[in-house]
């Protein structure tokens, strides 16, 4: 049986690998992608998403353009579209297909309301679209079986010492989502940094000879170069592909190890704005709300990518 999902993306190199994994996995039915402001502005995250689907020969997957700025904060001026890890536009041919008419938030609401309550939401960018949809039509909550988020960090952040990028960019939205009362799995940096993809793995991806394998190799090599230069991991020549791990966790939950704990988001801290606050205390009286991943199975993750990205549409 396949799991229906909607992938909410701010495409981005690792979002691109997540999109290809979701679109090509025989275990998932990708209903559509919604785009959000994040790694770069909304025009580019939407164009990049269209490029990815066209590249792998799946132009039929609908792409819906979403929020162009955070829920209640001004657009982050710190977004740097020239980062070495993502860049602005992905190095793929320009899209000839277009995004669907209308706003992603309205499409999310209509699609969920018309569903049998069987569509898992998979946001792998800032949580602006999902929070906006919940605020606009709270009745969608009863229709959401699970939200699987790439985002958050317990041990260390990446945007700041405390905060992971997807949460840091729109903490108010993240707060709405983690407190929405529906089942939530979070795939934070604590897990994604434990499942690195290496230069040798990139060679294997390229050797698959498929459009998805080739693009995943190229994007991951770019990530490795950027990580080695600016955010070295515990070993050189390897980098996390965060968003793809969240997709793989839906296909095979054993690729991550989770703890069911109370989680909330700091929205007012001076030094800790956007921190994912995890309550690991045994004496916590707060009810647990999030299955929070603290580890991942790197060999399994890489095996899954090689298997899925070796497929064609
Ligand atoms: C997250 O931030 C983005 O740069 C990546 O696409 C990923 O979703 C990792 O912190
Ligand atoms: Ca992302």
- pLDDT digits 0-9 by tens, 139-186: 999 999 999 999 999 999 999 999 999 999 999 999 999 999 999 999
Q: Residue 291 to residues 70, 188, 295: CA-CA distances in angstroms?
A: 25, 11, 12
Which ligand places an atom closest to the C-alpha of 86? Answer: 1
List the one residue out of 163, 154, 130, 142 whose CA is nearest residue 266.
163
What does CATH list as the number for 3-309?
A: 3.90.245.10
Q: Give the span between the Cα atoms of 70 and 73, in whole angstroms.
A: 6
Percent of the chain scoring above 70 in pLDDT = 98
Give the residue numbers marked as catalytic: 10
Among 9, 15, 39, residue to substitute to test ligand 1 (most atoms within 8 Å of Cβ): 39
Task: Annotate 35-95 with three-state secondary structure.
Answer: ECCCCCCHHHHHHHHHHHHHHCCCCCCCEEECCCCCCCCCCCCCCCCCCCCCCCCCCCCCC
Expressed in angstroms, the distance from the first to the final Cα of the chain is 19
**Residue 49 in tokens:** 């998403």
Q: Mean pLDDT in the chain?
A: 96
Distance from the CA of 35 to the center of ligand 1, in angstroms? 14
Q: Give the span between the Cα atoms of 310 and 214, in whole angstroms.
A: 9
Q: What is the mean pLDDT of residues 235-244?
A: 98
Q: Give the span between the Cα atoms of 20 and 36, in whole angstroms.
A: 18
Q: What is the mean pLDDT of residues 235-264?
A: 98
Which is higher by pLDDT, 243 or 85?
243
- What are the boundaries of each domain within the chain? 3-309
Q: Above 60 in pLDDT, residue 222?
A: yes
**E-assigned strand segments in 188-255:** 196-198, 238-240
Q: Angle at which helices 242-251 and 298-309 pack, to 10 degrees?
A: 80
Q: Above 70 in pLDDT, residue 29?
A: yes
| Residue 80 confidence (pLDDT) | 59
Distance from the CA of 285 to the center of ligand 2, in angstroms? 33
Listed in sequence order, the residues at least 6 apart from 116 whose beta carbon sits closer than 8 Å to its beta carbon are none
Neighbours of 85 (CB within 10 A): 21
Residues framing ligand 1 (Cβ under 6 A): 12, 14-15, 39, 124-125, 150, 158, 164-166, 242-243
Q: Above 80 in pLDDT, residue 216?
A: yes
Distance from the CA of 169 to the center of ligand 2, in angstroms? 11
Question: Which stretches within the chain are classed as H helix?
Answer: 13-24, 42-55, 104-113, 128-136, 165-169, 171-178, 189-192, 199-207, 211-230, 242-251, 298-309
* Ligand 1 atom, smallest distance to 85 CA: 4
List the one residue out of 95, 96, 119, 97 whose CA is nearest residue 107.
119
Pairing of strands 263-265, 256-261: unpaired
Which ligand places an atom closest to the C-alpha of 242? Answer: 1
Measured in residues, the chain has a length of 313
Instruction: Examine residue 12 and say whether the peptide bond preceding it is cis (omega within 30 degrees of 0).
Output: yes
Q: Give the span between the Cα atoms of 104 and 47, in whole angstroms.
A: 14
Q: Above 70 in pLDDT, residue 278?
A: yes
Positive or negative, the CA dihedral 7, 12, 15, 16 is positive
Percent of the chain scoring above 90 in pLDDT = 92
| Residue 81 confidence (pLDDT) | 55
- pLDDT digits 0-9 by tens, 178-214: 999 999 999 999 999 999 999 999 999 999 999 999 9
Among 9, 10, 226, residue to substitute to test ligand 1 (most atoms within 8 Å of Cβ): 10
Distance from the CA of 192 to the center of ligand 1, in angstroms? 10
Among 78, 130, 230, 243, residue to substitute to test ligand 1 (most atoms within 8 Å of Cβ): 243
| Residue 77 confidence (pLDDT) | 57
- pLDDT digits 0-9 by tens, 75-117: 775 555 557 888 899 999 999 999 999 999 999 999 999 999 9
């Amino acid at each position: 049986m396949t799991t229906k999902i909607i992938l909410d993306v701010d495409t981005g190199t690792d979002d691109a690998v997540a999109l290809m994994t979701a679109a090509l996995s025989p275990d998932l039915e990708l209903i559509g992608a919604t785009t959000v402001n994040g790694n770069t502005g909304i025009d580019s995250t939407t164009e990049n998403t269209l490029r990815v689907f066209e590249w792998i020969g799946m132009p039929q997957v609908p792409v819906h353009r979403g929020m162009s700025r955070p829920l209640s904060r001004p657009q982050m001026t710190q977004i740097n579209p020239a980062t070495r890890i993502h860049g602005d536009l992905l190095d793929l041919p320009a899209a000839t297909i277009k995004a669907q008419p209308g706003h992603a938030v309205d499409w999310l609401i209509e699609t969920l309301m018309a569903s049998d309550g069987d569509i898992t939401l998979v946001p792998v960018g800032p949580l602006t679209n999902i929070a906006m949809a919940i605020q606009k039509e709270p009745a969608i909550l009863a229709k959401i079986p699970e939200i699987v988020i790439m985002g958050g960090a317990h041990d260390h952040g990446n945007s700041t010492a405390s905060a992971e990028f997807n949460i840091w960019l729109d903490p108010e939205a993240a707060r709405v989502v983690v407190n929405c009362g529906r089942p939530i799995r979070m795939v934070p940096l604590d897990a994604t940094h434990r499942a690195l993809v290496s230069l040798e793995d990139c060679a294997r991806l390229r050797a698959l000879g498929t459009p998805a394998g080739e693009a995943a190799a190229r994007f991951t090599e770019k990530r490795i170069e950027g990580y080695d230069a600016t955010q070295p991991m515990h070993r050189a020549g390897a980098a996390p592909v965060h968003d793809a791990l969240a997709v793989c966790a839906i296909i095979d939950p054993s690729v991550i190890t989770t703890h069911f704990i109370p989680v909330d988001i700091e929205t007012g801290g001076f030094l800790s704005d956007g921190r994912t606050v995890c309550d690991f205390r045994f004496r916590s009286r707060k009810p647990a709300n999030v299955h929070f991943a603290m580890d991942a199975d790197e060999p399994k993750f890489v095996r899954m990518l090689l298997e899925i990205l070796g497929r064609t549409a």
